[in-house]
Amino acid sequence: MTGLLLQNTLLKQAEDRVEKTVSPAQRDNYLKIVVAGMKYALDKGPQGILALLKDSKDPVADSVNGAIGIVGVLRRNAQGVMPIEAMVPAAMALMLHALDFAEKMKLIKVTETELDNATQLFMDTILPLLQVPKAKLDESFQQVNDILRDPDKMAQYKGYQNGASKLG
């Protein structure tokens, strides 16, 4: 979704990074899950799942758990045919949209610290559900953090992004 709906720049950048992890073969599945998840979250309007954030005592945790829960419901409805390679990034994208919504509602201010906390909670929550060993998760998370903290790799990513936008 390339941050089209997100207002927070930090969350837009995070969604761009998430989408970059989705293989071309899984891109359509990812988009279907995100769109279906957003529709599900907005269903019932002011009584819907996303709107319930307004009463949240912990909007970060509720954004994480809500996104994972929505994707879980969608996966059950899909009778288990939802590819994990598309499901996990889609759940992360839904979490980012929930955080953006919480910020628009003035429930939180999403900073790098809030985003890091949300990401850590997301990984700690979703990995056991997927039965991914913690050591493998820690290794993957460290690789992502290394890329995010390396100015050269981020510049390379931004250069790739600019070049791709010129092609379209």
pLDDT, tens digit, 9 for 90 and up, residues 93-133: 999 999 999 999 999 999 999 999 999 999 889 888 877 66
Instruction: Look at residue 159 in the predicted model and tell me its pLDDT.
Output: 60
- pLDDT mean across residues, the chain: 84
pTM of the shown model: 0.76
Residue 43 backbone dihedrals phi, psi, to 5 degrees? -60, 145
Quote the strand ranges of the chain, DSSP E. Answer: none
Cα–Cα distance list, 98 to 19, 51, 72, 93 (Å):
17, 10, 16, 9
Instruction: Look at residue 6 in the predicted model and tell me its pLDDT.
Output: 77
Residue 46 clears pLDDT 60, i.e. is over it: yes
Residue 34 clears pLDDT 90, i.e. is over it: yes
* Better-predicted residue by pLDDT, 139 or 19: 19
Q: Summarize the confidence of residues 15-41 as an average pLDDT.
A: 93
CA distance 85 to 145: 19
Note the pLDDT tens digit of each residue in 135-168.
Answer: 766 776 676 667 667 777 767 656 654 554 444 3
Note the pLDDT tens digit of each residue in 75-88.
Answer: 989 876 888 889 99
